[in-house]
């Protein structure tokens, strides 16, 4: 018997010019976003592309079922991590869960939005003036979010809600990086 279909969420942090990564990692260190990510994703299953997972500093993420998508594996468990040969296989493994999080990277987001899989998007907007200047000069050095933030803000397909944390709830960011948190619910 098939389990209940989970709500499919995606979580992404997007910098200036829709940047999400550079050389396999995120081109910022944003403590408030790390806190936010942990808060929204725990204790739910988290789905990653192989590149993103291989570049995470500490894996598996604690208190969450970690799933890695890779065509190199055939739906197997290794050290508690499930390696799925497709995003559909990854989602299948989560049937019966209330929520599941699609956590990137770029290829995984692209597939999820192209195939209309996402019910809720948690989007962090990262502000960083120096990064903005670097991306403006060399956009091709960076990995960009598809379909881009403009597909969500002011789109009738997505209802936006701003997530506000109280003053002492978030860790302080270092440097000139700051973050704002949004939730987009698909309206149909």
Task: Note the residues at the interface with ligand NAP (CB under 6 A).
Answer: 12-13, 20-22, 24-26, 49-52, 69-72, 85-87, 103-108, 111, 143
Classify residue 73 as exposed, middle or buried by CB count within 10 Å of its CB (0-12, 13-18, 19+).
Answer: middle
Smallest distance from ligand NAP to CB 14, Å: 6
SS3 at position 117: coil
Strands 66-69 and 46-49: parallel
Please state, in angstroms and rounded to a whole number, the distance separating the CA atoms of residues 128 and 78: 38
Least distance (Å) from ligand NAP to the CB of residue 49? Answer: 2
CB 44 within 8 A of CB 135: no
Nearer to ligand NAP, 140 or 166 (CB): 140
As a whole number of angstroms, the distance between CA 177 and CA 118 comes to 28
Least distance to ligand NAP, CB of residue 93, Å:
13
Looking at the Cβ atoms of 17 and 166, the one nearer to ligand NAP is: 17
The residue with tokens 């499930």 is 82
Shortest distance, position 12 Cβ to ligand NAP, whole Å? 4
Smaller CB separation from ligand NAP, 102 or 167: 102
Closest CB to ligand NAP among residues 9, 69: 69
């Amino acid at each position: 018997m098939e389990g209940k279909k989970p709500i499919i969420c995606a979580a992404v942090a997007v910098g200036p010019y829709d940047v999400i990564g550079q050389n396999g990692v995120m081109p910022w260190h944003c403590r408030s976003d790390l806190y936010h990510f942990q808060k929204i994703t725990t204790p739910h299953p988290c789905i990653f592309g192989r590149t993103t997972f291989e570049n995470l500093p500490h894996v598996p993420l604690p208190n969450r079922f970690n799933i890695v998508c890779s065509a190199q594996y055939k739906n197997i468990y290794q050290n508690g991590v499930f390696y799925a040969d497709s995003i559909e296989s990854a989602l299948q493994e989560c049937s019966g869960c209330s929520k599941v999080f699609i956590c990137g990277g770029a290829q995984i987001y692209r597939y999820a939005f192209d195939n209309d899989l996402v019910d809720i998007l948690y989007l962090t907007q990262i502000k960083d003036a120096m990064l903005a200047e670097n991306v403006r000069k060399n956009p091709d050095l960076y990995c960009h979010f598809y379909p881009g933030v403009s597909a969500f803000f002011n789109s009738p397909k997505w209802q936006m809600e701003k997530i506000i944390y109280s003053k002492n709830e978030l860790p302080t960011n270092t440097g000139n990086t700051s973050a704002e948190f949004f939730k987009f619910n698909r309206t149909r």
